[in-house]
Amino acid sequence: MNGTARNTAMRGDAEGCWAVSLVDRRTGRIHRRNGSPLSVLTSDPKGSAEELLKGRDPALWQARIDPLPQGAVRSARAGG
pLDDT of residue 5: 40
pLDDT tens across 9-61, in order?
444 444 699 999 999 999 999 999 999 999 999 999 999 999 999 999 999 99
What is the structure's pLDDT at 25? 98
Give the predicted TM-score (pTM) of the model. Answer: 0.70
Dihedral through CA 36, CA 43, CA 28, CA 35, nearest 10?
0
Helix (H, G, I), strand (E, B) or coil at 18: strand
Domain boundaries, the chain: 3-69
Local confidence band at 70 (pLDDT 50, 70, 90 cut-offs): confident
